[in-house]
Structure 1
Amino acid sequence: MTESCTFCDIADGTEPAYRVYEDESTLAFLDVNAVSDGHTLVVPKAHAPTLSAADEETVAAVFRTVRRVGRAVERALEPDGYNVFQSNGAAAGQDVFHLHAHVVPRWEGDGIHFSPSRERIDPSRGERVADALREVVE
């Protein structure tokens, strides 16, 4: 990694963070720009800019830790639920280009909205898009 990466710096201990959990390959820490109490980020310790760029073992490790953190959120904070989300690329809202997943505790009436407006897919479009994806899925 030649450029500076905030999450790499947090993972290697050169930047401070409110650490929640750590294992050999992942780190979970509170988001300093939290949308709710307990909003936690889970990152791989090895740099990968996006989910697509990470190897399968890294992705599996991150989501094992996401599950562990989600269970901790449930036990410690007793939310009504929690969101897990992960963004890839600036258009998707990624602002730190180091793979990370968010675990966001939620309470009824908390005013947090992640859901875009949606409409049912047109069947012919659905078939075309599904066909295009099936052709290249690995």
Structure 2
Amino acid sequence: MNVQCCIFCKIIAGQVPCTKIYENEHVLAFMDAGPVSEGHVLVVLKQHTTRLDLTDPLEMAELAKVLPKLAGSVKDAMVADGYNVLCNNGSSAGQVVEHMHFHIIPRKENDGVFNQWPSFQYPEGKADTIAEKIRRNLTL
């Protein structure tokens, strides 16, 4: 994705309007233009990066400082029973804008949003095999 074409970079630069909630040197939070519930907020880092795993840890720390407070503010303002904080990474995970961002989605009991994620049972030993693959790929 070319940064000049990124809609979130254009919003950050002030080239595209948004309904701003919060802004500091590193982070911008604004109302989602296509919300799944009233009060749906997007939180983006001003530094362009496409996925969470490609995000600079220091920049992520700046986002982590404000994300909990923003989530609580959304919950309280919307008198919500709860909220989801989501970060979709890659188109197969539902990412539409290739600029890493978090959704804060206020929820009410029986609102019909994300009713339930399907689950399954691993066959015997499969979880251990997958966990080992993940551990081998983990670099901290």
User: TM-score scaled to structure 1, two decimals?
Assistant: 0.93
Q: Answer yes or no: is the 8 Å Cα contact 1:42–1:65 preserved in 2.
A: no
Residues 96-125 of structure 1, C-alpha deviations (whole Å, 9 max, x = no match): 000000000000111111632101223410
Moved over 3 A (4+): none
Residues 72-114 of structure 1, C-alpha deviations (whole Å, 9 max, x = no match): 1122121000000101111111010000000000001111116
Identical residues among aligned pairs (%):
35
Instruction: Count how many residue pairs are aligned between Structure 1 and Structure 2.
Output: 138
Q: Which runs of 5+ in 1 are unaligned?
A: none
Match of 2:117 in 1: 116
Match of 1:131 in 2: 132
Match of 1:36 in 2: 37
Match of 1:71 in 2: 72
RMSD value, Cα: 1.4
Q: Quick check: 30-39 or 107-116, which moved more?
A: 107-116
**1:45 corresponds to 2:31:** no
Q: Which runs of 5+ in 2 are unaligned?
A: none
> Distance in 1 between the 2:134 and 2:10 partners?
36
Match of 2:93 in 1: 92
SS in 2 for 1:52: helix
> Distance in 2 between the 1:81 and 1:124 partners?
35
Alignment of 1:7-26 (within 5 A): 7-26=8-27
Residues 32-67 of structure 1, C-alpha deviations (whole Å, 9 max, x = no match): 000111100000011011111111112222233221
> Aligned pair in 2 of structure 1 residues 11, 3: CA closer, same or farther (>3 Å)?
closer
Q: Answer yes or no: is the 8 Å Cα contact 2:3–2:9 preserved in 1.
A: no
